[in-house]
Structure 1
Amino acid sequence: MTELILHHYPESPFSEKVRLILGHKKLPWESVRVPAVMPKPDLVTLTGGYRRAPVLQVGADIYCDTALICDVLEHVQPEPALYPPHIKGVARIFAQWADTTLFWAAMTYSSQPRGAAQLFPTPEIGQAFFADRKAMRTNMTQLRLGDATSAYRSYLRRVAHMADEHDFLFGAEPCVADFAAYHPLWFTRMRTPVLADILQATPSLLEWMERMSALGHGRFEKLSPEDALTVAERAEPLPPGQNLLVDSAFQDDHGIPLGTRVTITAEAFGPEPTEGVLMAATRTHYSIRREDPRIGAIHVHFPRIGYVLRKADPT
């Protein structure tokens, strides 16, 4: 069995998305807790710059972004399927909408002052958190609270229409769309319950959330950040085509050949670049090789969608 190490923290909604998928697929995993805000020295040692949670580690291969992590977990354990063949396209498109548009409406709504007072034990901790997140939004337009609230209400009604028809959004079993839609609502309900009354207007959605929550997080053991780094140090990164990403054919959309030193950066949220040698650029993902003095060679993987590939500055 492949040792799956999840770097996450309990309050992270995207981490909850992956935790539930691990539970749904009954995959055992190792839990490494990372800080919610910078500095994150151990995580950045693995990623080379990327610092969003969660990150999935398998030996000396590091998988960033939950969209890519879902693909990895589907490869490790194909059943139950996140992408059932008859709804594969629409499930992916819905999940991308939920992870972006729905997520940011929910976060803006849930982070208003009443919600923030529940999230943080002291105002100082809250101020540090919001300052950290502001630094990550360098290329984003921030929704105003009133606009986000209106949008969130509308989105909840639309998703509830889907839950009216089935136990899960696209049928009798959950798919990637369910996990992507669930985690922003989970944040409102579980992390800012003072604001969770917005969910009461959609009872079928609350019933669906109960079914999602019942999937659980599966079987996991705690692992220290130091031990996770030791795992990476003792492992060798797998070459393209032999790792947990199924496609390996080169797709050149940038005029950047393999072997070039590049940077990969999120389009919007999280401006920190990861630099290394381009090992793979397929229809779905990028892979780069980097060297770190603490752990040696490491491969870091990103999805294509949502990330910017550039040649590294030669200076």
Structure 2
Amino acid sequence: MTDLILHHYPTSPFSEKVRLILGAKQLAWKSVIIPSIMPKPDVLALTGGYRRTPFLQIGADIYCDTALICDVLEHIEPRAPLFPERQKGVARVLAQWADGTLFWAAMGYNLSPKGAAAMFAGQPPEAAQAFATDRGAMRTNMTSLRPGDATSAYRSYLRRLSTMVEDQPFLLGDAPCVADFSAYHPLWFTRVVNPAVADILDHTPGVLAWMDRMASLGHGQMSKFTSAEAIAAAVAAQPAALTDGFFQNDHGIELGSRVTLAAEAFGTEPTEGILRAATRTRYTLERQDDRAGTLHVHFPRIGFVLKEVRA
């Protein structure tokens, strides 16, 4: 197997989700630290437009969105399974809720005026403004919760999570699954990245104990890597063969067509390329980059919009 290369930055909550999964599965991986805000020239050389964090690189294959990254890591290392055999559907649905509804409530609380002031304390005013401008651009046409509404929702969601770990160590049983990793990362941001507002967690001690169990999984075997080395690794490789020949054509767009793929809501910058695969669960685009060579960029179907590029 070619090296696992995770492009991330330390305070990224979705990156923490993947870092913990790498730890649970005891995998070795290379760490490329990327900017938290634009510009991101080395990122775009690999993804072609997608700018959300993190993304996973394996040679000349680029995997976008943590939902897809979870499937890739599960295939590589089935031990410490993310999808419990008799609860696969429940685990995926709960993870999707946590990555969306729970995440946005938590971040609305974490980045409330009080939270933002604490996060950027000691930094020049332009740092906070640059972050706000960057994230504002990513939320174009997206409705955001007001801080008060986000706080109310976050408190309720924490109580609901607490009831799930009253009689068992993890959300769906005796071992962590994808739902645990998805629910953990926005709470981790509260507790670790912005502890000035972490008192909201004190009302659910069961959640804090569960978070301790999650944190103990660690981050696997990480080694440092540069973005230049990652681009060189892509150039030196060829995209892996597409072994799943199943084509699910829900759009009337044939393989070989020039298309774009973009997230439905947050971070909607499109990636353009040639549609090489459209399976039941994912899309694959082939694209050429002057610096990174021939790449396959992979996206999950759920949460992404496929459009044909017409001349």
TM bin, normalised by shorter chain, reads: over 0.9
The corresponding residue for 2:201 is 199
1:30, 1:222 within 8 Å by CA — same for their partners in 2?
A: yes
d(CA) in 2 for partners of 1:235, 1:2:
9
The answer to whether residue 249 in structure 2 is matched with residue 252 in structure 1 is: yes
Tell me the equivalent position of 1:76.
Answer: 76
* Aligned equivalents of 1:69, 1:192: Cα separation in 2: 26
Q: TM-score, normalised by structure 2?
A: 0.98
- Secondary structure of 1:278's partner? strand
2:280 is the alignment partner of 1:278: no
Q: After the TM superposition, which residues 224-239 of structure 1 pair with which residues of structure 2 at under 5 Å, given as runs? A: 224-239=226-241
By how many angstroms is 1:249 displaced? Answer: 1.0
TM-score norm. by structure 1 comes to: 0.97
Contact 1:262–1:312 (Cα < 8 Å) also in 2: yes
Structure 2: where are the runs of 5+ without partners?
none
Counterpart-to-counterpart distance in 1, 2:174 and 2:200: 26
1:255 Cα deviation from its structure 2 partner: 0.3
Deviations 1:292-311 (A, max 9, x none): 11121100000000000000
The change in CA–CA distance for 1:180 and 1:248 in structure 2 (over 3 A counts) is: farther
Shift of 1:116: 1.4
Q: Percent identity?
A: 64
1:258-282 CA deviation, whole Å, 9 max, x = no partner?
0000000000001210000000011
- 1:162 aligns with 164
Look up the equivalent residue of 1:168 and give its one-letter code: F
Work out whether residues 118 and 191 of structure 1, in 8 Å CA contact, stay in contact via their aligned partners in 2: no
Q: CA deviation at 1:248?
A: 4.2
Instruction: Please state how far the C-alpha of 1:142 moved relative to its aligned partner.
Output: 1.0
Report the Cα distance in structure 2 between the residues aligned to 1:117 and 1:186, rounded to whole angstroms.
18
Residue 266 of structure 2: aligned partner: 269
Where do residues 137-216 of structure 1 align in structure 2 (5 Å cutoff)?
137-216=139-218
Q: Distance in 2 between matches of 1:210 and 1:87?
A: 24
* Aligned position for 1:244: none
Q: Who is 2:114 aligned against?
A: 114
What is the CA distance between 1:42 and its match in structure 2?
A: 0.2
2: distance between equivalents of 1:205 and 1:53?
Answer: 26
Secondary structure of 1:133's partner?
helix
Question: Which whole-Å deviations, capped at 9, do the CAs of 1:175-216 have from their partners, x for residues lacking one?
Answer: 000000000000011111111111111100000000000111
**Aligned partners of 1:38, 1:248: CA distance in 2, in Å?**
37
CA distance in 1 between partners of 2:81 and 2:206 (Å): 24
1:5–1:56 contact (8 Å) kept in structure 2: yes
**In 1, distance between residues paired with 2:209 and 2:11?**
22
Which residue type is aligned with residue 179 of structure 1?
F
How far the C-alpha of 1:126 sits from its partner, in A, is: 1.1
CA offset digits 1:128-173 (Å, max 9, x no partner):
0011000001131011111111100000000110011211111110
